[in-house]
């Protein structure tokens, strides 16, 4: 579906490039990944630092509680990542953008807290793509 609409997914993470292999293995993410360990792009995009997790139900895509999410992140950092690296600051929040063709920014969502993600179907709609049924998750 993405190829048909000529949509490319890109992740820009704040971790060192050495974590790309571990991230791919953990998430099975097959698309482009770039690293911004010095937070240059992160800061230019106006991303936020916030220690709030949000509440259960704030995101339809987050399936774990705050407690189990934190435990899972700590487990992955300690046992699956080199040098016990937490892959960035714990309070860093991300965002979603739809860019292009060219340098045109069509949509931008900056996460206010850890569960404030743009819903995937909202992003797909903005790319003129069909929604995904997440009811089985």
Helix and strand element counts for the chain (H, E): 4, 4
Say if residues 74 and 90 touch (Cβ distance below 8 Å). no
What are the pLDDT digits (tens) for 29-70?
889 999 888 999 989 988 887 766 555 555 555 555 544 554
pLDDT of 63 reads 53
Q: In angstroms, rounded to a whole number, what is the distance separating the alpha carbons of residues 116 and 136?
A: 21
Q: What is the DSSP string of 32-98?
A: EEEE-TT-HHHHHTT--B------TTS-TT--S-HHHHHHHHHHHHHHTSGGG--SS-TTB--EEEE
pLDDT of 47 reads 87
What are the pLDDT digits (tens) for 76-126?
555 555 544 545 666 778 889 999 888 899 999 998 887 788 888 889 998
């Amino acid at each position: 579906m993405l190829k048909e609409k000529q949509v490319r997914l890109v992740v820009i993470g704040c971790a060192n490039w050495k974590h790309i292999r571990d991230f791919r293995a953990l998430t099975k993410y097959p698309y482009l990944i770039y690293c911004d360990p010095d937070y240059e792009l992160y800061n230019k995009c106006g991303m936020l630092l916030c220690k709030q997790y949000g509440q259960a139900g704030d995101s339809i895509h987050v399936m774990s509680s705050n407690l189990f999410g934190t435990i899972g992140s700590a487990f992955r950092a300690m046992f699956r990542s080199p040098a016990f690296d937490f892959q960035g600051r714990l309070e860093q929040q991300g965002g979603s953008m739809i860019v292009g063709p060219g340098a045109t920014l069509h949509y931008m969502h900056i996460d206010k807290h850890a569960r404030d993600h743009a819903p995937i179907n909202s992003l797909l709609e903005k790319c003129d793509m069909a929604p995904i049924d997440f009811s089985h998750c």
